[in-house]
Structure 1
Amino acid sequence: MTSRPFFSVALAAGLAALLQLTVPARAEAVPDVDASLAGSYLAARLAIVERDNDAAITYLRNLLRLDSRNDEIVERTFYVMLIDGQVDEAMKLTDRLLKTDRTHRIARLALAVKAIKKGHYQSARTNLAVSMSGPVGDLTKTLLAAWTFYGSNNAKGAVDLIDRLEGPDWYAPMKELHAGLILDAAGVKKEAGKRLEQAMKLDPGSLRAIDAYARWASRNDNIPAAIAAYQSFDKQLPDHPLVVQALKELKAGKPLPPLVKSAQEGSAEVLYGLGSLLGRQGGEDLALVYLQFAIWLDPDHPFASLTLADLYEQLKQADKAIEVYESVPASSPLKRNADVHLAINLDATDKFNEARAHLDKIIAQDPKDIEAIMALGRILQSRKMFAECATAYSKAIALVPQPTKANWALFYFRGVCNERSKNWTGAEADLKKALELNPDQPQVLNYLGYSWVDQGTNLDQGLNMIRKAVKLRPDDGPIVDSLGWAYYKLGRYNEAVTELERAVELMPQDPVINDHLGDAYWKAGRKLEASFQWAHARDLKPEPEDLTKILVKLDKGLDVAEQPAPVLKAEENSAPAPAAAPAPAAQ
Structure 2
Amino acid sequence: MTLTSSFALFRSNSASAQNNGRMTYHSVIKNRFFKKAFMASALTLVMLGTPLVPAEEAKANSQSLPAASSLSGSYLSGRSALLAQDLAAASNYFTAALQRDPENFYILDRAFVTSLANGNVEKAFPLANQILEEDNEHFLAQLAIAAQRIHEGDYTTPLPDAVTQNVNPLSRLTFALVSAWEKAGQGKTNEAIEDLTSTTGAKWFDLFINFNAGLLAEYNNDPHKAAEFYKAAYEIDRGALRNAISYTRMLAASGRQQEALDIVAEYEQLIPEHPLLVSLREQIESGEVIESVAKTPADGLAEALHGLGIAVSKEGEELSANYLQLAIYLNPGNDSALIGLASLFEQLGDNERAIAYLSEVSESSPMKREAEIQIALHYNILDNLEEARAHLEKLVESDPTDLEAITSLGNVLRGHSLFEEAETSYDQGLSTLNEIQSNHWTLLYFRGITRERQDKWDAAEEDFREALTLKPEQPMILNYLGYSLVDRGLKLDEAQKMIERAVRLRPTDGYIVDSLGWVYYRLGRYEEAVEKLERAVALRPHDPIINDHLGDAYWQVGRKLEARYKWNHARDLEPEPKDLERILDKIENGMEEAVPVVASSADSK
Q: TM-score, normalised by structure 2?
A: 0.79
1-side partners of 2:156 and 2:499: how far apart? Answer: 57
Match of 2:335 in 1: 302
Question: Equivalent residue of 1:8, what SS?
Answer: helix
Match of 2:47 in 1: 24
Match of 1:328 in 2: 361
Question: Equivalent residue of 2:292, what SS?
Answer: coil
| Residues 1:47 and 1:226: Cα distance change in structure 2 (over 3 Å) | same
Question: Equivalent residue of 1:509, what SS?
Answer: coil
What is the correspondence of 1:70-89 to structure 2 with a 5 Å cutoff? Answer: 70-89=104-123
| Residues 1:478 and 1:121: Cα distance change in structure 2 (over 3 Å) | farther
| Residues 1:105 and 1:282: Cα distance change in structure 2 (over 3 Å) | closer
1-side partners of 2:43 and 2:574: how far apart? Answer: 29
CA-to-partner distance for each residue in 1:464-485, whole Å, 9 max, x for gaps?
4444444444443433433443
User: Aligned-pair distance for 1:121?
Assistant: 6.6
CA-to-partner distance for each residue in 1:409-431, whole Å, 9 max, x for gaps?
22222222222222222222222
2-side partners of 1:218 and 1:34: how far apart? Answer: 58
Q: Identify which range, 45-54 or 79-88, moves more after superposition.
A: 45-54
| Residues 1:125 and 1:37: Cα distance change in structure 2 (over 3 Å) | closer
What is the correspondence of 1:501-512 to structure 2 with a 5 Å cutoff? Answer: 501-512=534-545
Match of 1:445 in 2: 478
Match of 2:463 in 1: 430
2-side partners of 1:506 and 1:97: how far apart? Answer: 47
Match of 1:360 in 2: 393
What is the correspondence of 1:533-552 to structure 2 with a 5 Å cutoff? Answer: 533-552=566-585
2:373 maps to amino acid? V
User: Aligned-pair distance for 1:305?
Assistant: 0.9
CA contact (8 A) 2:510 2:539 kept: yes
Gaps of 5+ in 2: 1-12, 30-36, 51-66, 597-605
1:372 maps to amino acid? A
CA contact (8 A) 1:538 1:551 kept: yes
User: Aligned-pair distance for 1:46?
Assistant: 4.8
Match of 1:241 in 2: 275
User: Aligned-pair distance for 1:6?
Assistant: 0.8
2-side partners of 1:95 and 1:450: how far apart? Answer: 63
Q: Identify which range, 476-485 or 368-377, moves more after superposition.
A: 476-485
1-side partners of 2:183 and 2:115: how far apart? Answer: 29
Q: After TM superposition, which residue ranges in structure 1, 4 or more long, deviate above 6 angstroms?
A: 17-21
CA contact (8 A) 1:44 1:59 kept: yes
Match of 1:350 in 2: 383
User: Aligned-pair distance for 1:512?
Assistant: 2.6
CA-to-partner distance for each residue in 1:181-222, whole Å, 9 max, x for gaps?
233333444343233234334444433223212221222122
CA contact (8 A) 1:115 1:124 kept: no
Match of 1:291 in 2: 324
Gaps of 5+ in 1: 28-32, 565-587
1:217 aligns with 2:251: yes
2-side partners of 1:34 and 1:307: how far apart? Answer: 32
Match of 2:599 in 1: none
1-side partners of 2:217 and 2:481: how far apart? Answer: 52
1:527 aligns with 2:544: no
2-side partners of 1:140 and 1:525: how far apart? Answer: 64
2-side partners of 1:257 and 1:441: how far apart? Answer: 42
1-side partners of 2:69 and 2:135: how far apart? Answer: 30
| Residues 1:505 and 1:63: Cα distance change in structure 2 (over 3 Å) | farther
1-side partners of 2:528 and 2:135: how far apart? Answer: 55
CA-to-partner distance for each residue in 1:490-537, whole Å, 9 max, x for gaps?
444444444444443444333233333333343444433333333222
2-side partners of 1:140 and 1:427: how far apart? Answer: 55
CA contact (8 A) 1:142 1:165 kept: no
1:133 aligns with 2:156: no
Match of 2:190 in 1: 155
Match of 1:406 in 2: 439
Question: Equivalent residue of 1:24, what SS?
Answer: helix
Over aligned residue pairs, what C-alpha RMSD do you find?
Answer: 3.8
Question: Equivalent residue of 1:416, what SS?
Answer: helix
1:6 maps to amino acid? T
2-side partners of 1:524 and 1:19: how far apart? Answer: 56
What is the correspondence of 1:472-483 to structure 2 with a 5 Å cutoff? Answer: 472-483=505-516
1:485 maps to amino acid? W
Q: Identify which range, 215-224 or 159-168, moves more after superposition.
A: 159-168
| Larger relative contact order, structure 1 or 2 (CA cutoff 8 Å, min sep 6) | 2
Identity in percent? 39
1:7 maps to amino acid? Y
1-side partners of 2:81 and 2:68: how far apart? Answer: 20
Match of 2:415 in 1: 382
Match of 1:54 among 75, 88, 109: 88
User: Aligned-pair distance for 1:380?
Assistant: 0.4
| Residues 1:180 and 1:62: Cα distance change in structure 2 (over 3 Å) | closer
Match of 1:7 among 25, 29, 34: 25
Match of 2:309 in 1: 275
CA contact (8 A) 2:155 2:185 kept: no
2-side partners of 1:413 and 1:20: how far apart? Answer: 58
Match of 1:568 in 2: none
1-side partners of 2:493 and 2:206: how far apart? Answer: 46
CA contact (8 A) 2:479 2:498 kept: yes
1:326 maps to amino acid? S
User: Aligned-pair distance for 1:126?
Assistant: 4.3
Match of 2:233 in 1: 199
1:318 aligns with 2:351: yes
Question: Equivalent residue of 2:335, what SS?
Answer: coil
User: Aligned-pair distance for 1:363?
Assistant: 1.6
Q: Identify which range, 318-327 or 105-114, moves more after superposition.
A: 105-114
